[in-house]
Amino acid sequence: MHDRHRVLVVEDDPDIRRILQLFLSERDFTVTTAESADAALGALAAAPVDLILSDVRMPGMSGIELLHHIKEHDPDVQLVLMTAYSSVKDAVEAIQAGATDYIEKPIDFRRLERILDVVFERKRLSTENRILHQRLQGHVEFHGMVARSQEMLEIFSFIERLARYPTTALITGESGTGKELVAHALHELSPLKDRPLVTCNCTTLAPTLLESELFGHVRGAFTGADRDRKGLFEAAHGGSIFLDEIGELSPAVQAKLLRVIENREIKRVGSPEAIRIDIRVIAATNRDLAAMVEKGEFREDLYYRLNVGAITLPPLRRRLEDVELLCEHFLTRLSKRLQKEVNEISEPVLQVFRSYAWPGNIRELLNVIERALIVAHGPVILPEHLPVQFFSAAPETAALAAVPAAPLALAPEFDLTIQAAERDQIRKALEAAGGKRMEAARLLGLSRRTLYRKLEKYGIS
């Protein structure tokens, strides 16, 4: 399947260009075309491709010159050159310059198909070899993210490629999977890294206030607008803007955002004057935008403009081989920040973590370890340091969580063991919170009402 492979055809003859586009599209490649090398460079500036199929001799810049430009900008791009002038000299020059292969015109499409199969098989093997090397080293730390799972290592590799381009990027995934870290990595690895990265959470403001926050306003635009004010788009000029939870935008703001991406200009609220801006838009959401498009809740044209560079982060339950690694990473970081000498997570706790569904993903794991560090009295995190939900998640998980790492005075009945562990956990949380019930509820991951109910149940004052 070639559904993730993008091919750019560069050919000045419109008939050959159309034939190649049809041939490649029928084989499930995503195909874009350009009539010249200059047009190809413009297309490449907008979005990455995996392979370029280019004529050698074209008006203006030749295919060989295009190859030199491409290799300087993105060495990972594969390039196959086509020529009507069979020449060993041209072939040697092309291969020396970094071309993947060479095909003569008129094109033998069976040979072209074999070339494409070989190119993408080499690319796959190269990626797998690189990932295998990284996994043999134990793990990879990448701009605040750590992983050893193949899916995440492939995502790290794609982030590095995508960051070189000014194209819009859409990061999707469940809450707590690390979308903001990916946004920061895209900016820090880009040519814009020395320019601002402005962040806006689209859920924090009402639609009318969000529009003013993003686009700015002029004096008198609405009640309380006593002066002109720049918006976040203007503040991000020359750099990047990260729009978190973009699925929450109102239709009116969606329309304005589309104009920003397409025309690179904004209008402040209350002003007819357009202001030119040069920014990269990075968006994120935990919602299914494609489904929202089907329901008419999200603009289709905006979705496709955002989805040029798509990154989907897997939930933690699909990354269980990374759980222990993440635990080590968070334990080291939090022990230093909280100034606690806790340097180990017991094996029973790790077993619980490996079997837990992690509905809150990596953010939940981080919070759980932070709470455990706060209530732990020794150098090891034990089952009794875990939040309450681990004792009631499922029978097998609860039983595992109740296994002590050292002898404890536990009641013989399983239900009583859970109750005893829960009561002990609540007491420790209250102690860590200095008796403040709201803070204890936060540490336990409970609502205030639930905590009060449990305090009454266990007679804790």
Domains identified in the chain and CATH numbers: 6-132 (3.40.50.2300), 142-312 (3.40.50.300), 317-458 (1.10.8.60)
Q: Give me the long-range contacts of 448-451 (CB less than 8 A, separation at least 24).
A: 451/426
Share of the chain above pLDDT 70, in %: 87
How many Å apart are CA 137 and CA 145, to the nearest integer?
16
Q: Evaluate the omega torsion of the peptide bond into residue 207 and state whether it is cis, within 30 degrees of 0.
A: no
- pLDDT at 131 (0 to 100): 62
Which is more confidently placed, 98 or 198? 198
Mean pLDDT of the chain, nearest integer: 84
pLDDT at residue 398, as a whole number: 44
Token look-up 């635009």 returns 221
> Are the C-beta atoms of residues 460 and 426 closer than 8 Å to each other?
yes
Sign of CA dihedral 330, 336, 342, 344: positive
Strands 265-267 and 274-276, by their bridges, are antiparallel
Name the pLDDT band for 331 (thresholds 50, 70, 90): very high
Q: Which residue has the higher pLDDT, 348 or 1?
A: 348
In the chain, the percentage of residues whose pLDDT exceeds 90 is 41
Asked whether the predicted pLDDT for residue 38 surpasses 50, the reply is yes
**pLDDT for the residue 23:** 94
Give the pLDDT score at 391: 67
pLDDT of 312 reads 95
**Is pLDDT above 60 for 406?**
no
Cβ neighbours of residue 110 closer than 8 Å, sequence gap 6 or more: none
Higher pLDDT, 94 or 184: 184
pLDDT band per the 50, 70, 90 thresholds, residue 400: very low
Read off the pLDDT of each residue in 347-362 and give the average, rounded to a whole number.
Answer: 91
| Residue 111: other Cβ atoms inside 10 A | 12
Copy the structure tokens of residue 16.
């050959």
235-250 tens-digit pLDDT: 999 999 999 999 999 9
Interval 251-284: pLDDT, tens:
989 999 999 999 999 999 888 889 999 999 999 9
Q: Does the pLDDT value for residue 415 go beyond 50?
A: no
Give the CB-side neighbour count of residue 193, counting CA atoms within 13 A.
10
pLDDT of residue 277: 92
Residues 212-231: pLDDT tens digits? 899 998 888 887 888 888 99
pLDDT in tens, 271-317: 888 999 999 999 999 999 999 999 999 999 999 999 888 999 999 99
The pLDDT confidence band at residue 96, using thresholds 50, 70 and 90, is: confident
The Cα 444–Cα 389 span in angstroms is 9
